[in-house]
Structure 1
Amino acid sequence: MKDREILLIVTSVILTLIFSNLSLFLKSFASTPFASPEIKQAARQIEIDGFRKSEQDFWSQIKDINFDSLPKESELPPVTTERKAAVEPPKPANAKKPTPAKPKLTRPYRKFLCIGDSVMFDLGIQLQYTLKKKYNIPDTKIEYKVSTGLNRIDYYDWYARSRQIINNYQPDVVIVLFGANDPQNIIDFQGKARAVMTKEWQKAYQERVERYANLLDSSSVRKVYWIGQSIPKKSLYLKAFPVMNEIYKNASKSSAKIEFISTWERFTEAGKFVPVVADKSGKRGYVKVNDGVHFTSHGAKIISDLIVDEMVTDKILKTPKKKTL
């Protein structure tokens, strides 16, 4: 009798525990090998229901938050380096590195314009030949006018003509050579006559050159080569050209677009003019005609090579690749 009473008591306690936490009992019993499929399904449903209730409670708490009562970003304490390291998530090990930006392609220089007097005509012909034969650049133009320069703009206005030809032709590179006709009296911008080579003349001529340089600098031209006068034979030019070359050189300094190329030393030896000079290949020949100012074809080739070499250095010109058979 006593054993039966003890069994009833134990059974009552077990049933009480089961019904007081049925979900826990089912989940525990479902993990045993004695549980039937139905009991396992019931335990799984209880687990899902519990998860849903927890999720609902979480979102209910979020909705109840008063965001207006939260401190503003400016009121929050500063985050130290150590704190940042603790809160920032680590970067994935397989994160891709940022792709470097591709370098901008440089538009090639394809159109070349030679501007100047009759001395430029001799030089321009040789430049055209070299650019086409060696660098495969056929689009060149020579704009020259005999007996002109930057002095007698009343006779020929190079400012207006240059602006016109640049707008029409749209060159990438301009090669300028003036000066052979400029050592004469000048009328400055105030309308006053200035005797050649005086300080007043030099100031007036400098104003002319600077005005022309500003015209080129503000144009669509990408690069300008201002060619200095080479050493002459006649004493008048021998005195004037160094002064004029210095004016050209100084005017080019105010623009990153304009580059002055000195040719004076190319036909000199011990500081004096020499009539016969060797070119790059070693071939010797006369460099000036009888007037001592204009080039022979040999002299034009030497100065042309000097200019072309500078263009190569500046990466204006690139030797075209040879075609493979």
Structure 2
Amino acid sequence: MAGRGESARRGWPRIWCAALLALGLAWGAGLDAAPVLADEPVVTEDRAATADAVPADETATTADAAPTDAVEADDTAEAEAVVEPAEDTAEDTADAEDAVEPAEDAGDTASLNHTPTFEGPIHILVIGDSLADGLWAGVYRRTRVFDDVSVERHTRVSSGLSRPDYYDWNSEIDEVIADEDMDIAIVSIGLNDGQPVFYEGRWDHDFGTPEWDRIYRERVLAFMTELTDAGIPTFWLGLPTVRSAEFDQRVQHMNEIYREAAAETGVHFVETRAITADPSGAYAAYLDDEDGRQRLMRANDGIHFTGRGYEMLGQALVDAIAQSLGVLTDADGPA
């Protein structure tokens, strides 16, 4: 027993040396290992990119809130949500200048024959559904280079003109005009309207039928007329390309109704298909920015946009307003 104890005591130094040697090698290897990066891009979810489920909250209105800056996700990865760009970008979007279709003169509406004069601050109100909610941020970013311009919103997720049982824009627009301070109106409505129309308590008219077209067109005309009769220059954003081929056919059908109604009422229809499609005219998630670089512009649902995409639409609207009203021009920007 004594011999085994003495042998064990003599073995401990060898065990400790081996342990210390192993620790030293591990520490040395750690010095050569690549560091773990902690500054990966942060993606912030924007409610404008979520599915259009009927919400429980009331209409979203803001008087003085501004979009919150967030770090933009890498363009090589798919966007799981709408991402606001971190950098200030005030340059014109190149393709947006060709995307404006001013309405032809027609009818007796005040805005047809009268260009308003802006002598003080300009108040822009963005009205509509979840696309309008994201568009508000894009317009805000593209107008903050101008002095005395405010951009506010009156939006309702999942809303449209086909479902007055959920939210009745034709009844609400009078209150919007009375309650909101707006010199210019921007409207984006329609992405939720490719469905049977609710009329007189029933769902009898399927999308695209003659009765659907008649009812829907009447609602579009009534909505536009409320704004133009109030003397408010109105810019109606045409619906963009969407990924679903079947849905895209419906989008084009509704755009024809908006385009014709705008010509009748003096509303400025702003085309978006040219700037939201690839060279062949098809839907594309990646599009050229103002520098000619391919950027991720669309959200994963194939309908909404990334923060950069909303800025692209915002620039198209700024260009339309400048062309039609003579404000928000280069001369109004910083020297």
Q: TM-score, normalised by structure 1?
A: 0.62
**Equivalent residue number for residue 272 of structure 2:** 263
Alpha-carbon distance between aligned partners in 1 of 2:253 and 2:161, rounded to the nearest angstrom: 15
Per-residue displacement from partner, 1:15-58 (whole Å, max 9, x unpaired)?
xxxxxxxxxxxxxxxxxxxxxxxxxxxxxxxxxxxxxxxxxxxx
* AA of the residue aligned to 1:195: D
Q: Following TM superposition, by how much is the alpha carbon of 1:282 offset from its aligned partner in structure 2, in angstroms?
A: 2.7
Which of 311, 315, 331 is the equivalent residue of 1:301? 311
**Equivalent residue number for residue 84 of structure 1:** none
Q: What is the correspondence of 1:1-325 to structure 2 with a 5 Å cutoff?
A: 106-108=117-119, 110-132=122-144, 134-188=145-199, 193-221=204-232, 223-256=233-266, 258-268=267-277, 269-314=279-324, 315-318=326-329, 319-320=331-332, 322=334
Instruction: Return 306-315 or 181-190, whichever deviates more.
Output: 181-190
Question: Of the two, which has the highest radius of gyration?
Answer: 1
Matched position secondary structure for 1:253:
helix
Q: Contact 1:189–1:204 (CA<8 Å) still a contact in 2?
A: no
Per-residue displacement from partner, 1:52-96 (whole Å, max 9, x unpaired)?
xxxxxxxxxxxxxxxxxxxxxxxxxxxxxxxxxxxxxxxxxxxxx
Alpha-carbon distance between aligned partners in 2 of 1:105 and 1:244, rounded to the nearest angstrom: 29
Q: Contact 2:147–2:333 (CA<8 Å) still a contact in 1?
A: no
Q: Following TM superposition, by how much is the alpha carbon of 1:105 offset from its aligned partner in structure 2, in angstroms?
A: 9.9
Q: Contact 1:170–1:220 (CA<8 Å) still a contact in 2?
A: no
* AA of the residue aligned to 1:214: T
Q: Following TM superposition, by how much is the alpha carbon of 1:274 offset from its aligned partner in structure 2, in angstroms?
A: 1.8
Gaps in structure 2 of 5+ consecutive residues: 1-114
Identity %: 26
* AA of the residue aligned to 2:321: M
Alpha-carbon distance between aligned partners in 2 of 1:158 and 1:306, rounded to the nearest angstrom: 25
Q: Contact 2:188–2:236 (CA<8 Å) still a contact in 1?
A: yes
Per-residue displacement from partner, 1:126-180 (whole Å, max 9, x unpaired)?
1012212x21244221111111011101111112322212212231100000011
Alpha-carbon distance between aligned partners in 1 of 2:216 and 2:126, rounded to the nearest angstrom: 21
Structure with more of its chain in helix, by fraction: 1
Q: Contact 2:170–2:219 (CA<8 Å) still a contact in 1?
A: no
Alpha-carbon distance between aligned partners in 1 of 2:224 and 2:200, rounded to the nearest angstrom: 16
Per-residue displacement from partner, 1:171-191 (whole Å, max 9, x unpaired)?
110000001111111133595
Gaps in structure 1 of 5+ consecutive residues: 1-103
Alpha-carbon distance between aligned partners in 2 of 1:140 and 1:267, rounded to the nearest angstrom: 23
Alpha-carbon distance between aligned partners in 2 of 1:105 and 1:178, rounded to the nearest angstrom: 25
* AA of the residue aligned to 2:323: T
* AA of the residue aligned to 2:160: G
**Equivalent residue number for residue 59 of structure 2:** none
**Equivalent residue number for residue 36 of structure 1:** none
Q: Contact 2:126–2:152 (CA<8 Å) still a contact in 1?
A: yes
* AA of the residue aligned to 1:259: H
Aligned residues: 217
Alpha-carbon distance between aligned partners in 1 of 2:204 and 2:282, rounded to the nearest angstrom: 33
Cα 1:264–1:136 change in 2 (3 A) is: same
Alpha-carbon distance between aligned partners in 1 of 2:327 and 2:162, rounded to the nearest angstrom: 31
Alpha-carbon distance between aligned partners in 2 of 1:202 and 1:255, rounded to the nearest angstrom: 18
Matched position secondary structure for 1:232:
coil
Q: Contact 2:141–2:311 (CA<8 Å) still a contact in 1?
A: no
Q: Following TM superposition, by how much is the alpha carbon of 1:276 offset from its aligned partner in structure 2, in angstroms?
A: 0.8
How large is the Cα RMSD of the aligned pairs?
A: 2.2
Cα 1:136–1:237 change in 2 (3 A) is: farther
Alpha-carbon distance between aligned partners in 1 of 2:308 and 2:250, rounded to the nearest angstrom: 24
Matched position secondary structure for 1:271:
coil
Q: Following TM superposition, by how much is the alpha carbon of 1:264 offset from its aligned partner in structure 2, in angstroms?
A: 0.8
Alpha-carbon distance between aligned partners in 2 of 1:272 and 1:180, rounded to the nearest angstrom: 18
Q: Following TM superposition, by how much is the alpha carbon of 1:303 offset from its aligned partner in structure 2, in angstroms?
A: 1.2
Q: Following TM superposition, by how much is the alpha carbon of 1:111 offset from its aligned partner in structure 2, in angstroms?
A: 0.7
Q: Which has the higher contact order (CA 8 A, sep 6+)?
A: 2
Alpha-carbon distance between aligned partners in 1 of 2:159 and 2:116, rounded to the nearest angstrom: 40
Q: Following TM superposition, by how much is the alpha carbon of 1:114 offset from its aligned partner in structure 2, in angstroms?
A: 0.2
